[in-house]
Structure 1
Amino acid sequence: MERLTSLFDLFGGIRPMARALGESPSKVMAWKRAGHIPAQKQAEVLKKGIALGMPLTAENMVFPLGRPAPDVAAAPETVVCLRQGKAQRPTGAR
């Protein structure tokens, strides 16, 4: 199974990422635990990563832990009931 590289891995870990961004390691660890980069920090993280030569895109900001796996569950099939319930009126009755 292929391991996805997270944004945090690209920076070299929590501490190197915190150092590069001028943030505390505990704050960056909170981002990782939450699984997202705060909206007000995304542009700064993207700009810093690109400046450091990382192949980052906006997708890395939205999915910092890697893109979630597609939903493999089959689409629900339409259920048709041909039996008329007791509470239903016959067609055409008033």
Structure 2
Amino acid sequence: MNLSESLFELFDGIRPMARALGESPATVHGWKREGRIPASKQPLVLEVGRKLGLPVTAEHVVFPLGRPDLSAPVLVASERLAVVCNRQAGLQRKGRRR
């Protein structure tokens, strides 16, 4: 897979991809924002890409923004971490509303 090109770049952008797939640009933009193509749409994306003569592979469809960098640290949410807010109402300036 050419890691320099995402699936969206292969289709020349969100709007052309949406047009080719019969989806709204907002839907395809949501896929890009989330970094994933819904499983129910993956076969369609692969089929349409191939019909258009694009070098789309199953890997492009599963990793539309490129394969994740496995050497990068992964942040894992933990139930043991607590979020504490020490905001006190008395610290606000009088006369100003937020």
Do both share a fold (TM > 0.5)?
Answer: yes
Aligned to 1:44: 44
Q: Secondary structure of 1:46's match? A: helix
- Name structure 2 gaps, 5 residues minimum: 74-98
Name the SS for the 1:40 alignment partner. coil
RMSD value, Cα: 1.8
* Residue 4 (str. 1) matches residue 7 (str. 2): no
Q: Secondary structure at the match of 2:36?
A: coil
What TM-score, normalized by structure 2, do the two folds share? 0.68
Q: Deviations over 1:11-64 (max 9, x none)?
A: 000000000000000000000000000000000000000000011111011100
Structure (1 or 2) with the larger CA radius of gyration: 1
The runs of at least 4 consecutive aligned structure 1 residues that moved more than 2 Å come to: none
- For 1:59, the equivalent position in structure 2 comes to 59
Aligned to 2:20: 20
Query: Structure 1 counterpart of 2:30, which letter?
Result: A
Q: Percent identity?
A: 62
Could you say which residue in structure 2 is the equivalent of 1:71? Answer: 71
State the Cα distance separating 1:4 from its structure 2 match.
Answer: 1.8
